[in-house]
Structure formats: structure tokens, C-alpha cells
Amino acid sequence: MAEWFPIADPVLVFALVALLILLAPLVMGRWRLPGTIGLLLAGALLGPNALGVLARDSSFVLFGTVGLLYIMFTAALEIDMVVLRRYKLHSIVFGLLTFAIPQSIGTLVAYYLLGFDLLPAILLASLFASHTLLAYPVASRLGIARNQAVTAAVGGTIVTDTLALLVLAVIAGATRGEMDEHFWLRLGGSLVLYIFAILYGLPKLARWFFRNVGRDGVSEFVFVLSTVFGCASLAHLAGSEPIVGAFLAGLALNRLIPHNSTLMNRLQFTGNAIFIPFFLLSVGMLLDVAALVMDTRAMTVAVGMIGSVLITKWIAAEATRLLLGYSREQARVVFGLSVAQAAATLAATMVGYQLGLFDDAVVNGAILMMLVTCIIAPWQVDHYGRKVARRSELELSTDEDMPQRMLVSVSERAPVNQLLDLALLLRNTSQDQPVFPLTVIEDGDDASEQVAAAERVLSRAVEHLSAADVSSRPVTRIDLNLAAGVLKARRELNATEVVMGWSGRTTTPDFFFGSLLDSMLSDRDYSLVISRPRGPLTTCRRILLAIPPDAELEPGFANGVVLVKRIARQLDAELLLIGESRRARDVRERVAAVKPACDLNSMGTSRWTNVVRTINDKLQEGDMLVLYGSRPGSPAWRTAMGRLPARLAGIFPNVNLLLVFPAEPKQAQPDTVIFGPPPPTVMFDPRDARR
């Protein structure tokens, strides 16, 4: 069999790896263990130091390195920036604790118990101080990626890994005799310049690309990959490691890639299906059990390293729990996220070995430590993360738990992808409800031709939603007009939100005989969102929400605010409230009380009639304008409100404009007027659009 192994045929190698990726979660699931552990054990068993079925050649090194960087990138990409900013002190505290405790205790253990000299002892302790977010995909799968404890652990990673890699740079410089008076200036200056270039320059480049170049999913995906790995490759020039660059790139792109978007789903799928499993297999291949068993010193060093990292990381997690008030389950999740050793550990081990500070015993001990911690970490996160997830479900806001069924009206003339992207931003991710793309065909002689065109549009809509891993149920209706078809479909499907597009203009028949919106607003038990898109929503940095007087008194006010705040949260955009000064404080308090949380500011205008001037003064490039719409008969309704949308569309022709008409509770809806319907609202007056 020796002549058969290791397998040399690249097709057979890839087929075997794909089979391992498929079977590992299934086999480990029988013992309620994460599939991550199965891939690590498979790599150890089939690798060159055991059965020798697979060789750890350049392809495994390449894909393994990509997988490692992918873990760091996606971890930063999925951070809830609102939570991170709110609890940034948590990340700093945890990052310092999970570095200082292992670094100090590890140095003492290596110096006094394992007999290392001072410099090797400090470098060995830096192996314990750093960590890799290997178990993060488990937390993401459980839906706790945005829990404040998980966010603190992820944010603390950049602190502890940067400090650990700084220790590596200093020890390497001291060993090589490079510690002159310019050493710290070179190292500090290059790091500051590198971090500034990524966090400040990359978002500007990405925003320009998404707005002007990126027109399809493939180009956006390739752009993100090229920038991430480009940033990672430049890390060496700054005296750091690629994992830091990948993490910083994730932070820089975080605001531009919403969690519910098709691009995010493509990035996660590629990493979880290919790159990350390759990394796990490559780590398992490093273990040489025979060398450890035969070398007593190697086993002693390995036991000392494993014991040190487990104890010190547990102490750091417990100290964080006591200082920051986390639950025991959250502390165990933090421990699981911070105990895995891989990236910085391997880098420091190899550098120490090349400098002559470490021998073969330390290398084998470090590899065994990596394997053990990489097995413990996902089990801890999986076991205790389930408890955190169950508790988080119980603490969800009632507004967030309201049943949601979203209907999106699409047509050949409408910007289908942009309307669906808006629906994804509005979607409540805690509910697994499908999105209903709808086409309405006006009854007539050419209805059959319109049906064929509608099928093409719905096919595009289903494809777009599938790319975001969102289920859909396409709907086609034949009716007298668009409003009648949408309203009938909404009632049949019991939809809670309807998303429609608008060009910003109104036709002459609409003006004389009542607009589409007049008909759509006749039902009050659903929310209506009308979009006039002018560019990708992902490039939005701020949302201006214009709230008319007395809107906060409406029974459906919270329903409208929830929708706008979901968009702000997904885009990590600031929400700026604009309304009358005398009500600004009350309105802000009402908006702040509604979940989800987001960055919130407000400014007042002396009178509501001056709102357009105020918006014009504050509007910046990249802003989204949202108008809170009031239905006829509601407290905030004014006759002038009917002409405001078209006026805003005419004055700001290049701005993404949304109109939000929230649902009203049935018991709060006004009684029917027996003398006849209210007068037409003429929301979109063509005369205003030309002004």
C-alpha cells in the first residue's frame, strides 16, 4: 500500500476532501459534537504522520492559509458594530485580560517549571496569549454572533493577537540584534500607517466600487476577496501577520456588506464549504503522535503548554465575567472562542524555531496544544452557545417577535434586485418566513404575453433571494389594476409588509382620478414601504428620517420605526431624526425605546413647513432619505403631506428615497365614515415633481 499513498491524483484528493467535509458533521453529530472536531481528527488520522493517505503539500498549505484568513475576515465582518461601539470597553477589557494573564503566568511556568531561558520563556508564553477564532463559525451557526459577549470576544481578538505578535516582533528583534533606538519608531509607525490605510481607505474604495462598478454578484465577490487577501499580504510590511490584515479588512467592509445580503451569503458559503474545512484538515495533519510518545521532553512540554493555556484562558474568561457581568454560559462561550490556538501560535512557533529559541520538543508540543484546544473550543461554544441562544430568544423584544410576511411587488420596469435588497434589510431574521415576490397583470387582450414576462421577472426574483439563502414563494395575479391586485394578494397571503417601487413621477390619470397610493392606503393593517432607488443601499452611511408633528401619537408609530431601524442596523448607518424642535426630545425618546438599537441623533426645525430646507442643509452624499408617511385621518395627517413626497423626489433626484406608512392596530383604526370616503390624498402630484 506504500506505493498508493499518499494519493497523488489531484482529482482523487479533492474528492476525498469533499467526502470528509460531507461526513465529518454527520459522524460527529451522532455524539453531539461539532463537525469541526471531525475534520481535525480526520486530518490527524489521514495525514503524513499517521496513515499517510494525504500529503500536506502546497495545495493544503495554500487552502489552509486561505481558510485561516477567512475565519478572521468573516468574524470581523459579522461583528455587530452597534454592539461593538456600545460595548467597546468590554472588548478592550477582555483583550487585555486574555493577553496579560496567559502571558504573565505562561512566562513563569516556562521559566521556572519547564526550564526555558527568559527570552524563549516570554516567546513561549505569547503562544498562550494569542488565540484564533476557530470556533466562531459554530457561534455564527447558533445565531449568537451578535451577542455582546461574543462581540467582546471577537473584538478582543484583535487586541490580544496584536499584542502577542508585537511580543514576537520584539523577541525576534532582540535575538537578531535589531533593538536599536529606531526599532520602536519603525514598528509603531508602520503599524499605525497600515491600520489607518485599511480602516480609512478601504471603505472609500469599496463604496466607490459598489456604487460605480459592481453591477453583479460575481464582481462584488471577487472584489471583496482580492481586497481582503491584498490587505492580509501587506501585513508583513507593517511588521505584523496576515491574520491581523484579514481581520482589519473585515472591520473596514463591515458596514458595506449587510448581514442579510446576497453578498454576505456568498462569502459565508464559500468559506464554510471549502476554505475553512481545508484549514482544519491541514491543522490536524501537523500532529506527529509517534514523536510525542517517544520524546519524554516533548510530552512534558506539551502537557505544560496545554495545562497553561486551558487554565489561563479560563481565568481570563472568568475575570471578564466578574468584571462585565456576563452569565456563566456567556463566560464559557468566551472561553471557547479564546482558547483555540492556531494562527499566531503557529507563526510564533516557526519564528522561534528558525531563531534557535525553540527545539523539536516545543514544535511538537505546540502542535499537540493546537489540536487539543481546537477540539475543546468548538465543543465549548456549541454546548454553552445553545444555552445562550435559548436565553436570547426569551429576551427578544415583542416588536421583533411580531409575525412577518413580506410581499414585494415587482415588474419588468421596476428595479427588481434593489427592491428585493430592501426587503432583505427589512426582514426579521429571527423568523424563517418566505418572501413573496408578486407580479400583477392587468386584464386585457395581451394578458398571456404579460404572464410570460411576469414569469421571467419572478424567476429573477427567486434567483436573487436564493442567493441570499432566503426562501421565496412567487405569486402572479391578474386584476383590473395594480392596486387591486396587490391588495387582494396581500389579504390572501396575510402579508404584514408590502414593498413597492416608485419612479418619482405620477402620471396624469393618477392625478385626475386618484393615485395608486390612495388605493393602497385604504387598508390600515399592514405596513407599506415605497422605494425610489437611486443607487445601492449598501453604500448608505446615514439615514435621515423626517417625522411630521404628532406622528409619535399614532398607534402604529412603533411599527414604522422598527422598519427604519432594521435598515439602519443592517447597514450600520446613523439614524438622524428630523422634526419640529418643540417635539424633538419626546420623539427621540420614543424612537430610542423601540428595538433594535442603532446609532441615533436628532435635529429640529422651527416649523414643519421648513423641513425641506432643513433636509437640504443636512443631506450629504451617501445619505438615504426616509419620510414617515401618515394615513388620512391619523394625528399627523396634513393636507400638505400629500404633496411632500413628489416635492422631495423632484428636489433630490439622486437620493435613495423611502416612504414608510406603518400598520395600525385594528382597535386603533378610525371608524368608517358613512357619508363617503375621504378625499383623494394625491400623494404624488406631477406638478411638484417638476419643481
Residue 242 CA to residue 231 CA, distance in Å, equals 8
Residue 361 CA to residue 367 CA, distance in Å, equals 10
Which tens digits make up the pLDDT trace of 450-485?
788 888 899 999 999 988 888 899 999 888 888 889
Region 155-168: mean pLDDT is 83
Inter-CA distances, 487 with 23, 419, 497, 517, Å:
48, 18, 11, 11
Which tens digits make up the pLDDT trace of 612-671?
999 999 998 889 999 998 887 788 887 777 788 888 988 999 999 999 999 887 655 554
Which tens digits make up the pLDDT trace of 196-205?
999 999 999 9
Closest CA to 305 of 348, 242, 248: 348
10-390 adopts what CATH topology? Answer: Na+/H+ antiporter like fold (1.20.1530)
Same fold, 10-390 and 534-691: no
Please check whether residue 635 is in contact with residue 664, taking contact to mean a CB–CB distance below 8 angstroms: no
DSSP letter, residue 434: P
Adjacent-strand bridge partners of 628: 660
For residue 673, name the pLDDT band (cuts at 50, 70, 90).
very low
402 pLDDT more than 70 = no
Instruction: Name the average pLDDT for the chain.
Output: 84
Residue 204, judged by CB atoms within 10 A of its CB (0-12, 13-18, 19+), counts as: exposed
What three-state secondary structure class fits 472? strand
Q: Which residue has the higher pLDDT, 521 or 384?
A: 384
Please check whether residue 131 is in contact with residue 339, taking contact to mean a CB–CB distance below 8 angstroms: yes
Q: What does DSSP say about strands 527-532 and 656-661: parallel, antiparallel, or unpaired?
A: antiparallel
The strands making up 435-442's β-sheet, listed across from edge to edge, are: 475-479, 435-442, 406-409, 497-501, 527-532, 656-661, 623-628, 542-546, 574-580, 600-605
Residue 356 CA to residue 237 CA, distance in Å, equals 23
Please check whether residue 59 is in contact with residue 123, taking contact to mean a CB–CB distance below 8 angstroms: no
For residue 71, name the pLDDT band (cuts at 50, 70, 90).
confident
Please check whether residue 68 is in contact with residue 342, taking contact to mean a CB–CB distance below 8 angstroms: yes
Residue 228 CA to residue 224 CA, distance in Å, equals 6
Instruction: Identify each DSSP E strand in 111-208 by its residue range.
Output: none
For residue 538, name the pLDDT band (cuts at 50, 70, 90).
confident
Residue 460 CA to residue 468 CA, distance in Å, equals 13
Residue 536 CA to residue 257 CA, distance in Å, equals 11
315 pLDDT more than 90 = yes
Residue 110, C-alpha cell as written in the block = 516556562
Rg (CA), the chain: 29
As a 3-state breakdown, the chain gives helix, strand, coil percent values, each rounded to 5, of 65, 10, 30
Please check whether residue 486 is in contact with residue 500, taking contact to mean a CB–CB distance below 8 angstroms: yes
Residue 271, C-alpha cell as written in the block = 468559506
Residue 220 CA to residue 222 CA, distance in Å, equals 6
pTM: 0.79
Instruction: Identify each DSSP E strand in 63-123 by its residue range.
Output: none
508 pLDDT more than 80 = no
288 pLDDT more than 60 = yes
Q: Peptide bond preceding 596: is omega within 30 degrees of 0, i.e. cis?
A: yes
Q: Peptide bond preceding 6: is omega within 30 degrees of 0, i.e. cis?
A: yes
What three-state secondary structure class fits 123? helix
Please check whether residue 232 is in contact with residue 243, taking contact to mean a CB–CB distance below 8 angstroms: yes
Residue 434 CA to residue 420 CA, distance in Å, equals 12
Inter-CA distances, 280 with 15, 24, 43, 150, 386, Å:
17, 11, 7, 22, 23
CATH, domain 534-691, list 3.30.190, 3.30.70, 1.20.120, 3.40.50: 3.40.50
Residue 389 CA to residue 329 CA, distance in Å, equals 10
Q: Kindly compute the dihedral angle of the four CA atoms of residues 505, 508, 514, 520, in this order, to the nearest 10 degrees.
A: -40
Looking at the chain, the number of H-run helices and the number of E-run strands are 30, 10
Region 519-529: mean pLDDT is 85
DSSP letter, residue 468: T
Residue 369, C-alpha cell as written in the block = 496544544
Q: Kindly compute the dihedral angle of the four CA atoms of residues 51, 53, 57, 59, in this order, to the nearest 10 degrees.
A: -140
DSSP letter, residue 49: T
Amino acid at 101: I
Region 672-679: mean pLDDT is 37
Count of C-beta atoms within a 10 Å radius of residue 505: 14
Region 242-261: mean pLDDT is 88
Residue 104, C-alpha cell as written in the block = 504573565
Residue 653 CA to residue 174 CA, distance in Å, equals 61
Q: Kindly compute the dihedral angle of the four CA atoms of residues 235, 236, 238, 240, in this order, to the nearest 10 degrees.
A: 70
Residue 434, C-alpha cell as written in the block = 418566505
Highest mean pLDDT of the ranges 6-10, 102-106, 663-667: 102-106
Residue 263 CA to residue 188 CA, distance in Å, equals 35
Count of C-beta atoms within a 10 Å radius of residue 453: 14
Closest CA to 370 of 344, 339, 341, 337: 341
Which tens digits make up the pLDDT trace of 569-580?
989 899 999 998
Q: Kindly compute the dihedral angle of the four CA atoms of residues 355, 356, 359, 364, in this order, to the nearest 10 degrees.
A: 0
Concatenated DSSP letters for 634-650? STT--GGGGGHHHHHHH
Region 210-221: mean pLDDT is 82
Domain boundaries, the chain: 10-390, 398-501, 534-691
Adjacent-strand bridge partners of 578: 546, 603
CATH entry 3.40.50.620 includes domain 398-501 = yes
The angle at the Cα of 642, spanning 640 to 647, to the nearest 5 degrees, equals: 85
> Which long-range contacts link 462-466 to residues 24+ away (Cβ below 8 Å)?
462/437, 464/262, 464/416, 464/417, 464/420, 465/420, 465/424, 465/435, 465/437
Residue 407 CA to residue 518 CA, distance in Å, equals 18
Region 77-93: mean pLDDT is 82
Region 207-227: mean pLDDT is 87
Q: What does DSSP say about strands 542-546 and 623-628: parallel, antiparallel, or unpaired?
A: parallel
For residue 12, name the pLDDT band (cuts at 50, 70, 90).
very high
Q: Which residue has the higher pLDDT, 48 or 32?
A: 48
Residue 374 CA to residue 277 CA, distance in Å, equals 13
Region 279-308: mean pLDDT is 84
Helix (H) or strand (E) holding 407: strand 406-409
